[in-house]
Amino acid sequence: MDNQQIRVRFAPSPTGPFHIGGARSALFNWLLARKYGGKLILRIEDTDLERSSRESEENIKDALKWLGINWDEGIDVGGEYGPYRQTERLPLYRQYTDKLLESGKAYLCYCSEEELEKEREQAMAKGETPRYSGRCRHITEADKERFAAEGRKPVVRFRVPENKDIVINDLVRGTVTFESVGIGDFVIVKSDGIPVYNYAVVLDDALMHITHVIRAEEHLSNTPRQVLLYEALGLAIPEFGHISLILGSDRTKMSKRHGATSVEQYRNRGYLPEALVNFLALLGWSPNGEQEIFSPEELINEFSMDRVAKNPAVFDLDKLNWINAHYIRKASPESVLELALPHLEQAGFVALPVIGEQKKWLTAVVATVQDYISYAAQVVDHAAIFFADTVTLENQEAGEVLQDADVPRVMADFRAKLEALDTLEEAAVQAILKSVTKEMKLGGKKVYMPIRVALTGQMHGPDLPKIIVLLGKEKVLERLVGLANA
Ligand code: GLU
């Protein structure tokens, strides 16, 4: 791929939440552009007027920027081959449609929906795959006038060459051959003058000098139609690479049923962009070796289309969580707090904005729990022990810890020593715990465990001295007293 100026594109339809699969297509194209010193073009395919929205377009741009996927030409940044929004390119498409009509490679079709539906039903009844019969292929001028007088508005259909093999050398799937026989003359421009995806995409990719079309597998079946159009228009055909579907853990196509599917949902839960990029890169591409954590720079160096797998990629949430946990551990507590704040607010633990001492305290809380979480929203569960008014025992076993015969004297001694401390610091608290252990002549577990359970209700968690410092003397004593009275 390196001997030419690579021009790739990401061409989303702005019709809803930005799906993880779209982000992966964008990422693969970006990696190729950056690896080979090429260009990434961002084009908006908004010819579905009913479903497209500017809101969704903004959402896609935001998500790409957040992921660190920048583009060299396209909406917002401009470029030589604009405009980059399909609805702004209608006059351009029209010129090509006129040429196709003049040369007879396309024709006007006046068939009504009802007529087409009847044809479909008849084909199905005969056990045939429905396809357009070609009724308007030889329509006369007189017929056209009659239909126009009836108020019918024509579509433009492409005249599909008969008995032709269409061979695609796909960068991922290898050689794939389609037969033109199965493809009926298909609509390229609808009756409202708006081109369909298969037509606009060909003109845009050609006019924007795209060298490699890297996109989702679901478009493989569209590719023969597109190749026929390139040939009819006399335009250079780019290389194609169709990346595999993303499946859920049950190996069916990933959908809402499997949980979060949009980039925004992961962002809101407190996943980090570098983790998502790392994870998405491994969704269909496999590096040469065992390494699993990659920085964007490493991905740019390592990425290649010949290691993009033909078989479907399975979305493994545990793996994403593992990767994200890695990046969360490396992130600053301040930044993890920022991501956790909306969740802490929603849980009723804080009121926004947080400032001053409270912010300092919250940052310390996050620093204490950050090694135990996979994504920032989980701070809520792990930090709940610091906010609750009362301690809830996590299970029966925790309750039993407090029934031990030594517990009253351990607690009394610890309380007395704690009360005598002027300021709570980790080292001092640790020292008290040690001296209780020594004086009571007990194993560490017999001291630490009941205190941990009394303060948090749980048998595991962050370092006990850290918990005690964060709770503060007052709350610790309150919880110990609460226990004594229970
Ligand atoms: N607008 C199409 C989509 O979002 C793009 C297909 C292509 O990349 O050619 O699926």
CB 11 near ligand 1, within 6 Å: yes
Residues designated as active site = 256
Span 162-171, pLDDT tens digits: 999 999 999 9
The answer to whether the CB of 437 falls within 8 A of the CB of 377 is: no
Q: Going by C-beta distance under 8 Å and a sequence separation of 6 or more, which residues neighbour residue 286?
A: 307, 309
> CA-to-CA distance for 282 and 314, rounded, in angstroms?
10
Q: What is the DSSP letter of 196?
A: P
The dihedrals phi and psi of 49, each to the nearest 5 degrees, come to -65, -35
> Closest ligand 1 atom to the C-alpha of 205?
9
Does the structure show a pLDDT above 70 at 486? no
Give the burial string for 90-106 (b: 16+ CB within 10 Å, else e): eebbeebbeebeeeebb
Q: What is the pLDDT of residue 7?
A: 98
Q: Going by C-beta distance under 8 Å and a sequence separation of 6 or more, which residues neighbour residue 84?
A: 41, 42, 43, 44, 73, 74, 75, 78
> CA-to-CA distance for 289 and 287, rounded, in angstroms?
6
| Token pair of 486 as six digits | 């229970």
Span 182-224, pLDDT tens digits: 899 999 999 999 999 999 999 999 999 999 999 999 999 999 9
Every domain of the chain with CATH number 3.40.50.620 lies at 7-86+246-314, 89-243
CB 210 near ligand 1, within 6 Å: no
What is the residue with the minimal CA distance to atom 6 of ligand 1? Answer: 11
Q: What is the DSSP letter of 289?
A: S
What is the residue with the minimal CA distance to atom 4 of ligand 1? Answer: 12
**Residue given tokens 């707090």 in the structure block:** 337
Every domain of the chain with CATH number 1.10.8 lies at 331-386
Q: What is the pLDDT of residue 483?
A: 63
The answer to whether the CB of 209 falls within 8 A of the CB of 38 is: no
> CA-to-CA distance for 148 and 160, rounded, in angstroms?
25
> CA-to-CA distance for 458 and 482, rounded, in angstroms?
16
How large is the angle between the packed helices 356-369 and 333-346, nearest 10 degrees?
100
Collapsing DSSP states into helix, strand and coil, what is residue 382?
Answer: helix
Collapsing DSSP states into helix, strand and coil, what is residue 10?
Answer: strand
Q: Going by C-beta distance under 8 Å and a sequence separation of 6 or more, which residues neighbour residue 126?
A: none
CB 382 near ligand 1, within 6 Å: no
Mean confidence (pLDDT) of the chain: 95
Best CATH choice for the domain 331-386 from the list 1.10.8, 1.20.120, 2.30.30, 3.30.70: 1.10.8
7-86+246-314: CATH number? 3.40.50.620
Q: What is the pLDDT of residue 475?
A: 93
Higher pLDDT, 363 or 443: 363
Q: Please, what is the Cα angle at 113 between 109 and 118, to 5 degrees? A: 105
The band of 448, judged by pLDDT with boundaries at 50, 70 and 90, is: very high
Span 450-474, pLDDT tens digits: 999 999 999 999 999 999 999 999 9
CB 19 near ligand 1, within 6 Å: no
Ligand 1 midpoint to CA 217 (Å)? 10
> CA-to-CA distance for 33 and 36, rounded, in angstroms?
6
Span 114-163, pLDDT tens digits: 889 998 999 899 988 888 989 999 999 999 999 999 999 999 999 999 99
CB 45 near ligand 1, within 6 Å: yes
Does the structure show a pLDDT above 60 at 3? no
CB 219 near ligand 1, within 6 Å: yes
Ligand 1 midpoint to CA 238 (Å)? 15
CATH class given for the domain over 89-243 = alpha beta
Ligand 1 midpoint to CA 478 (Å)? 61
Span 216-272, pLDDT tens digits: 999 999 999 999 999 999 999 999 999 999 999 888 888 888 888 999 999 999 999
Within 10 angstroms of residue 268's Cβ, the number of other Cβ atoms is: 16
Half-sphere exposure of 335 (CA within 13 A, CB side): 10
Every domain of the chain with CATH number 1.10.10.350 lies at 396-485
Span 63-80, pLDDT tens digits: 999 999 999 999 999 999
Q: How far is CA 385 from the centre of its chain?
A: 32
Ligand 1 midpoint to CA 319 (Å)? 28
What average pLDDT does range 367-394 have in this prediction?
Answer: 94
What average pLDDT does range 406-422 have in this prediction?
Answer: 94
CATH class given for the domain over 396-485 = mainly alpha
> Closest ligand 1 atom to the C-alpha of 25?
8
Least confident of 32-46, 83-97, 101-115, 117-131: 117-131
Mutation probe of ligand 1 site: the residue of 201, 203, 205 with most atoms within 8 A of C-beta: 201
Ligand 1 midpoint to CA 234 (Å)? 22
Q: What is the pLDDT of residue 76?
A: 97
CB 24 near ligand 1, within 6 Å: no
The band of 100, judged by pLDDT with boundaries at 50, 70 and 90, is: very high
The band of 388, judged by pLDDT with boundaries at 50, 70 and 90, is: confident
**Residue given tokens 């809380």 in the structure block:** 365
CB 29 near ligand 1, within 6 Å: no
Q: What is the pLDDT of residue 485?
A: 55
Does the structure show a pLDDT above 90 at 2? no
Q: What is the DSSP letter of 203?
A: H
The answer to whether the CB of 421 falls within 8 A of the CB of 358 is: no
Name the pairing type of β-strands 313-314 and 246-247.
Answer: parallel
Ligand 1 midpoint to CA 55 (Å)? 18
CB 369 near ligand 1, within 6 Å: no
Name the pairing type of β-strands 313-314 and 212-216.
Answer: unpaired
What average pLDDT does range 100-109 have in this prediction?
Answer: 97
Ligand 1 midpoint to CA 271 (Å)? 26
Collapsing DSSP states into helix, strand and coil, what is residue 399?
Answer: helix
Q: Which amino acid is at 349?
A: F
Mutation probe of ligand 1 site: the residue of 45, 87, 168 with most atoms within 8 A of C-beta: 45
CB 202 near ligand 1, within 6 Å: no
